[in-house]
Chain A
Amino acid sequence: MALHDPFDPHHSLTHCSCGRHGSQAEHDAALAQDDADALNRRVVQGAVMRALFPQDAERRRFLSAVGASTAWAAISSLVPFGALEAMAQEKGSLEKKELKIGFIPITCASPLIMADPLGFYKKQGLDVSVIKTAGWALIRDKVINKEYDASHMLAPMPIAMSMGVGSAPTPVNVATIQNVNGQAITLHVKHKDKRDPKQWKGFKFAVPFEYSMHNFLLRYYVAEHGLDPDKDIQIRVVPPPEMVANLRAGNLDGYLGPDPFNQRAVYDGVGFIHILSKEIWDGHPCCSFGVQTQFVKENPNTFAALYRAVLQAAAMANDPKNRPIMAEVLSPANYLNQPKTVIEQVLTGKFADGLGGVQTVPDRAGFDPFPWYSMAVWIITQMKRWGYIKGDVKYRDIAEQVYLLTDARKRMAEVGLVAPKDAYQKFKVMGKEFDPAKPEAYVGSFAIRRT
Chain B
Amino acid sequence: MRSETFKAALISALLFLLAIGAWHLATLPKESAALAGADAEYAALMGAGAQQPGGFPPPAEVGRAFVHYLSDPFYDHGPNDKGIAIQLGHSLARVALGFLLAIVAAIPLGFVIGMSPLLTKALDPFIQVLKPISPLAWMPLALYTLKDSNVSGIFVIFICSIWPMLINTAFGVASVRRDWLNVARTLEVSPVRKAFLVILPAAAPTILTGMRISMGIAWLVIVAAEMLVGGTGIGYFVWNEWNNLALPNVIFAITMIGLVGMGLDAIFGRLQKLVTYRE
Task: List A residues at the B interface (Cβ < 8 Å).
Answer: 54, 105, 116, 129-134, 138, 141-142, 144-147, 241-242, 244-245, 248, 264, 266-270, 332-335, 337-339, 341-342, 345, 351-352, 356-358
Contacts and interface: CB of A to CB of B under 8 A. Distances in A.
Interface in B224-266: 227-231, 239-246
12 contacts: A132-B80, A134-B228, A138-B230, A244-B245, A267-B47, A269-B46, A269-B49, A333-B77, A334-B77, A352-B42, A357-B42, A358-B41
A245 B42 contact: no
Contacts of B44: 341
B77 A145 contact: no
B41 to A, nearest CB: 6
Interface string B39-66: 1011011110111010100000000000
A134 B229 CA distance: 6
A338 B46 contact: no
Contacts of B239: 134, 241
Given A54-B77, A245-B245, A339-B47, A141 B230 contact: no
B38 A356 contact: yes
A269 B33 CA distance: 13
Contacts of A242: 242-243
B147 interface: yes
B148 interface: yes
Given A268-B49, A269-B50, A342-B47, A334 B230 contact: no
Most buried by B among A144, A145, A146: A145
B147 A145 contact: yes
A358 B42 CA distance: 6
B189 to A, nearest CB: 50
Contacts of B46: 266-267, 269, 352
Contacts of A131: 79-80, 231
A437 B149 CA distance: 42
A66 B132 CA distance: 64
B79 A334 contact: yes
A336 B51 CA distance: 23
A245 B227 CA distance: 15
A333 B80 CA distance: 7
A151 B153 CA distance: 21
A266 B78 CA distance: 29
Contacts of A270: 49
A57 B230 CA distance: 30
A351 B45 contact: yes
Nearest to B52: A269
Nearest to B34: A269
B240 A132 contact: yes
Nearest to A244: B245
A358 B45 contact: yes
A141 B244 CA distance: 25
Contacts of A105: 240, 243
Contacts of A138: 143, 149, 228-230
Contacts of A145: 143, 147-149
Nearest to A106: B243
Given A138-B149, A141-B143, A264-B245, A341 B45 contact: yes
A294 to B, nearest CB: 14
Contact of B243 (A141, A337, A345): A337
Contacts of B6: none
B42 A356 contact: yes
Contact of A267 (B49, B80, B228, B231): B49
Given A130-B79, A337-B243, A357-B42, A269 B147 contact: no
B40 to A, nearest CB: 10
Contacts of B240: 105, 132, 333, 337
A398 B49 CA distance: 46
A268 B245 contact: yes
Nearest to A345: B45
A142 B149 contact: yes
A10 B242 CA distance: 37
Most buried by A among B47, B50, B77, B80: B80
A34 to B, nearest CB: 27
B241 A134 contact: no
A245 B242 contact: yes
Given A132-B240, A335-B78, 17 more contacts: A105-B243, A131-B80, A132-B231, A133-B231, A138-B143, A244-B245, A267-B50, A268-B47, A268-B55, A333-B77, A333-B81, A335-B81, A339-B47, A351-B45, A357-B42, A358-B41, A358-B45
Contacts of B37: 356
B82 to A, nearest CB: 9
A253 to B, nearest CB: 18
B144 A141 contact: yes
A55 to B, nearest CB: 10
Contacts of A357: 42
A146 B147 contact: yes
A337 B47 contact: no
Given A245-B245, A358-B41, A358-B42, A335 B49 contact: no
Contacts of B81: 332-335, 337
